[in-house]
Homo-oligomer: A and B are copies of this chain.
């Protein structure tokens, strides 16, 4: 527990200790700087495959994960760098994974879309839209099965609300009262499709009306403290009452859907992107902290420099990590000695 001196008294921070506020700021900066570096490395071909950046959405992952306990679980989709970092995965492990190296969190097997770290209950990193929601329901089931007071936090994108897995997962989670907090990162678009063009519902959180027992609320996803407060409430509800909650965080993606996609393009205008950048979650939070005298601009700059240095170190580490060799090919297909069809069937390698 934080000692009283650290507690910032302005109610706007509803009693969050100063150290925690700085940790939140640091996490958002880390996520931002890390992905700026990621984009750079991708452009020069050090990172391959599909790579989805979270820039602009940092407040959602940071506000939410910072409301968890160490033994809680986190699971998300393929836009997963920020969640991994905020949850506490070392930037080195994340960057090495992006570089496809042996020291990556998944040994270079998963890449950008599949970050996993069992030590911190970070359960990935899933590439098929919506299919990790039932997996989160299963984690919630296991928690109740074992009668612990853990919680599972599940992030997903707006377009998920139109798919079958969302419906089946929400129904079971609500019916069996599983401690899962579902949070939709509503950045208004699924790739190039405006959610309003494909969802027969005005506000996504309204979908919860079809699952009694599941509470829902909408929150400004660019306000890290608002997200934090909403998730904190939901986590308490899950931990103590074993009830699921569905939170809609309204946020915005600054860059293209993936590295191979232009920042705007036919589906949104340059102006819209520029305007959304005005309510940048990091700047907003920095202003809030400096206005309240919690921190000075110099101190922010200092943290930022530390973060940038850590990101550079991560990139260098990744650069120097070994490329996986042939002996890795069959290693993790099965957890026992069975090696798949290897026998004779691939004699020509």
Residues from chain B with a CB closer than 8 A to the CB of A171 are 162, 198-200
Per the bound structure, the CA–CA distance linking A17 and B199 in Å amounts to 42
Per the bound structure, the CA–CA distance linking A198 and B175 in Å amounts to 7
Contacting pair B212 A201 (CB below 8 A): yes
Q: Does A164 contact B (CB under 8 A)?
A: yes
Q: For chain A, which range describes its interface: under 10, 10 to 19, 20 to 34, or 35 or more residues? A: 20 to 34
Restricting to A197-243, which residues have a CB under 8 Å from any CB of B? Answer: 198-202, 206-207, 209-214
Which listed residue (B168, B201, B212, B214) contacts A162, Cβ 8 A? Answer: B168
Q: Does A165 contact B (CB under 8 A)?
A: yes
Contacting pair A212 B207 (CB below 8 A): no
Residues from chain B with a CB closer than 8 A to the CB of A172 are 200
Q: Does A113 contact B (CB under 8 A)?
A: no
Contacting pair B162 A174 (CB below 8 A): no
Summarize A's interface: helix, strand, loop or mixed: helix
Residues from chain B with a CB closer than 8 A to the CB of A200 are 170-172, 174-175, 211-214
Per the bound structure, the CA–CA distance linking A168 and B211 in Å amounts to 16
Residue on B nearest A165 in the bound complex, by CB:
B164
Per the bound structure, the CA–CA distance linking A174 and B165 in Å amounts to 19
Q: Does A167 contact B (CB under 8 A)?
A: yes
Per the bound structure, the CA–CA distance linking A172 and B201 in Å amounts to 11
Residue on B nearest A174 in the bound complex, by CB:
B200
Per the bound structure, the CA–CA distance linking A212 and B164 in Å amounts to 17
Per the bound structure, the CA–CA distance linking A213 and B207 in Å amounts to 13
Contacting pair A164 B168 (CB below 8 A): yes
Task: For residue A214, give the distance in angstroms from its CB to the closest CB of chain B.
Answer: 7
Residue on B nearest A209 in the bound complex, by CB:
B209
Task: For residue A24, give the distance in angstroms from its CB to the closest CB of chain B.
Answer: 34
Per the bound structure, the CA–CA distance linking A163 and B167 in Å amounts to 7
Task: For residue A202, give the distance in angstroms from its CB to the closest CB of chain B.
Answer: 6
Residues from chain B with a CB closer than 8 A to the CB of A199 are 171, 175
Residue on B nearest A130 in the bound complex, by CB:
B164
Q: Does A13 contact B (CB under 8 A)?
A: no
Residues from chain B with a CB closer than 8 A to the CB of A206 are 209-210
Q: Does A317 contact B (CB under 8 A)?
A: no
Residues from chain B with a CB closer than 8 A to the CB of A209 are 206, 209-210
Residues from chain B with a CB closer than 8 A to the CB of A168 are 162-164, 167
Task: For residue A103, give the distance in angstroms from its CB to the closest CB of chain B.
Answer: 39
Per the bound structure, the CA–CA distance linking A165 and B175 in Å amounts to 19
Per the bound structure, the CA–CA distance linking A162 and B202 in Å amounts to 22
Per the bound structure, the CA–CA distance linking A207 and B170 in Å amounts to 12
Residue on B nearest A207 in the bound complex, by CB:
B210
Q: Does A166 contact B (CB under 8 A)?
A: yes
The 10 A-B residue pairs whose C-beta atoms are closest, nearest first, are A164-B164, A167-B167, A174-B200, A175-B200, A210-B210, A209-B209, A200-B211, A207-B210, A171-B200, A162-B171
**Contact sample, A vs B, 8 pairs, CB 8 Å cutoff:** A163-B164, A200-B213, A201-B210, A201-B212, A202-B212, A206-B209, A207-B210, A209-B209
